[in-house]
Chain A
């Protein structure tokens, strides 16, 4: 589905070191049975259109966006072995879904290696880790082999899921954003963390939350 966003604030880049998106208390957290997110004014007949909550003054998204408290739309994507993997397969255990720009780029390598190095802690918390980027399965396979990544990497070809979940871009939209979601056992999002240039922090933040789940 289409997702339009107005131009981001040019200082978004300078937000990068601490761009956590904590949802304010004012955000309606509707117990979602469907994947429509309707926060306020419905702008079109498309049931998935919505305005974001007022806690995001720097940009406006006119599309569905996955936020804390939502059950995100499920997806089925190919993993690094070429097998189809559905998000729904992980229901019943916490899942860390981290979206990253591309394989074999410095930040993404740091992030993947950080998840790898802390993987035991994630396993201890009973959680699964999934990395998603727009690269194809063969790129994921090479990346996972080179860095001995023990978790699943999924190919979001065409960045459809990224757009569907409403992940903001960086540097005026030229860079795919680096955003991580933690889903609890019921498949509800409990954390949305965004940080383009400090990829290791994604591991810290997600572990912190998992330990409290």
Chain B
């Protein structure tokens, strides 16, 4: 039985947010690793853990430890940035770099989300359980709002912690301890990626249950809004993949960037994305009311 971790469960794989970072190893979408087959037709019996295994939605000490480590790595980056900025006397560059990190984190989440939603399947090495979890999230989107904080974020936090360390090491290896802007970029980008799962959960929450500040940030477009993310949760799940602020969604959808990538992959590798076909019955969305016994 798998748990419905909607996002980013695995560790030891460089995170997609490396894609925008400068000194980096990048994760390519699993399309290259996925076997050249039309579809992963593994039959599954999806389980809604919110009903059948509610304890799996609670945070464990392991979850909390990883989240703490993730936050520590992000704060450490940001602290180095502040220190370097204080030294140099200029805040403009690091603030700009932080903003760029925030913007690119949105793009990174979109690309990763698109890849996981469309390619591979439960039997894909490394990513299989996550792909399955993403499909489970499409079926029971409201479950994410039942997860406790560390339970929701721990997988991302783990990846962030394991990614930020080598990046920071590289920045130091570059000489001079790295400048304020680099640390600001890394810290903000990694922080936004790690928190994207919380932003995602907020985008599924009812308006009345959100803290006022969060609702305001959603309305201002700083965080991905509920209507924007709801547009992703419509078959065939082929739009609005970004989940930090969603600022890239309009452009990516208008310019058919993902469709172009899908066409390229189809003609180059013969693999069709899931969003080209009808959603498989076991992954069709169920409402909360319909699911509760």
Q: Hey, which bits of chain A sit against chain B, CB under 8 A?
A: 13, 16-17, 101-102, 104-107, 171, 174-176, 196-197
Main SS class of interface, A: loop
B268/A174 in contact, CB under 8 A: yes
Which residues of A are found within 8 Å of B238, using beta-carbon distances?
A: 106
Q: Is B79 on the interface with A (CB-CB < 8 A)?
A: no
Residues of B within 8 A of A (CB): 238, 255-256, 259-260, 262-264, 266-268, 276
Residues of B within 8 A of A17 (CB): 255
**Top 7 A-B pairs, shortest CB-CB distance:** A197-B256, A174-B264, A175-B263, A171-B264, A174-B267, A175-B267, A174-B268
A195 to B48, CA, bound (A): 44
Most buried by B among A13, A101, A102, A106: A106
- Which chain B residues lie closer than 8 Å to A16 at the CB level? 256
Closest chain B residue, CB of each to CB of A171: B264
In the complex, the answer to whether A102 meets B266 with C-beta atoms within 8 Å is: yes
Please measure, in the bound complex, the distance between the C-alpha atom of A102 and the C-alpha atom of B272, giving whole angstroms: 12
Are A105 and B260 in contact (CB-based, < 8 A)? no
Determine if A175 and B264 form an interchain contact, defined as CB atoms under 8 angstroms apart: yes
A104: nearest residue on chain B (CB-CB)? B276
Q: Is the CB of B259 within 8 A of A106?
A: yes
With both chains docked as a complex, state the minimum distance between the C-beta of B30 and any C-beta of chain A, in angstroms: 20
Could you say which residues of chain B place their CB within 8 Å of the CB of A175?
A: 260, 263-264, 267
A108 to chain B: closest residue by CB: B263
A176–B260 touching, CB < 8 Å: no
Q: How far is the CA of A196 from the CA of B257 in the complex (A)?
A: 12
In the complex, the answer to whether B276 meets A101 with C-beta atoms within 8 Å is no
Query: When the two chains form their complex, are residues A101 and B263 in contact, meaning their CB atoms are under 8 A apart?
Result: yes
Q: Tell me the smallest distance from the CB of A14 to a CB of chain B, in Å.
A: 8
Q: How far is the CB of A104 from chain B (nearest CB, A)?
A: 7
Chain A CB count within 10 A is highest, among B238, B263, B264, B266, for B263
